[in-house]
Chain A
Amino acid sequence: MTKETALLLASMLLKVANEIIKAFQLSDDELKEHVSKRLDAESEVAGDLAEYEATKDLKSLIDD
């Protein structure tokens, strides 16, 4: 890897890190709450897939 490539990569990584930070302008407590609240969320795809496999009914899937 050349020096230029390494610098470019480092610059890209810094941008990514800043984007992530910007996406989470939350206090420490808010951040922890954000994780805790959504940790046990159910997959919506799981429900739909199970429903379809149980009924094989496309119409009811569409109507949901």
Chain B
Amino acid sequence: MKKLLVIMVALSLVGCASAQRAGWIATAATIDARDAVDQGIKKAFHARAKSCYQQYAPDQLKAQECFTGSREYKAAVIWIKGNGNGVGVWEATNIAIKAAKAALEIAAGRGDSGATTLKKVLGIIKDAVCALAGIVAEYGDLFPAGAKDATKYLGLVKVMCK
């Protein structure tokens, strides 16, 4: 069923553009989602730093405890460092985007079929897109505007991440 849905989405895209172009669009959408989440977390991170500072000043230790115990701080840590594996969602997304771009360029050079390339690119970026969706699902309430933007660009999530 999942494969069928992915094919349906792919065909929808192909209906509007070539499959190669759809691969570039999916890659660009992943970049935009990445940047929307980064901006959203940054704003939330700064806002929490400010509120902790103002609440506990001049007690720096309490202000630091307030900050490092916050969900905003945890979201930033997961975004940059991940969950104990040393690779944050940002870096994982970048690795996938670079691999997708390389696959598209290699395919174009070889003259491979667009549909095969699109399938490959969607496969490469699947984990990154799902990780992005995961952080939006868990912490998106901290950065509603960025989460809304990211969700706009993560249209394939419901299909890819089930």
Task: Establish whether residues A13 and B38, one from each chain, have CB atoms under 8 Å apart when the complex forms.
Answer: no
Whether B159 contacts A13 by the Cβ 8 Å rule is yes
Contact residues of A: prevailing secondary structure: helix
- A: number of interface residues (CB 8 Å): 35
B29 A17 Cβ-Cβ under 8 A: no
Distance in angstroms from A35 CB to nearest chain B CB is 5
Chain A CB within 8 A of B155 CB: yes
Instruction: Please name the residue on chain A nearest to B4 by beta carbon.
Output: A6
A35–B13 Cα distance when bound, in Å, is 18
A/B pair count, beta carbons within 8 Å: 110
Interface residues of A in 1-59 (CB under 8 A from B): 1, 9-10, 13-14, 16-21, 23-24, 28, 31-32, 34-36, 38-39, 41, 43-46, 48-49, 52, 56, 58-59
The docked-state distance in angstroms from the alpha carbon of A45 to that of B45 is 8
Q: Which residue of A lies closest to B21 (CB)?
A: A28
Contact A31 B25 (CB under 8 A): yes
Question: Within 8 Å of chain A (Cβ to Cβ): is B2?
Answer: no
Which chain A residues have a beta carbon within 8 Å of chain B's beta carbons?
Answer: 1, 9-10, 13-14, 16-21, 23-24, 28, 31-32, 34-36, 38-39, 41, 43-46, 48-49, 52, 56, 58-59, 61-62, 64
- Further contacts, 18 of them, CB under 8 A, given A19-B155, A34-B31, A35-B101: A1-B1, A17-B9, A17-B155, A18-B12, A19-B152, A21-B25, A28-B21, A35-B28, A38-B35, A43-B90, A45-B41, A45-B45, A46-B90, A48-B42, A56-B64, A58-B50, A58-B64, A58-B67
Nearest first, the 6 A-B pairs at minimum CB distance are: A17-B12, A16-B155, A58-B53, A21-B16, A43-B90, A31-B24
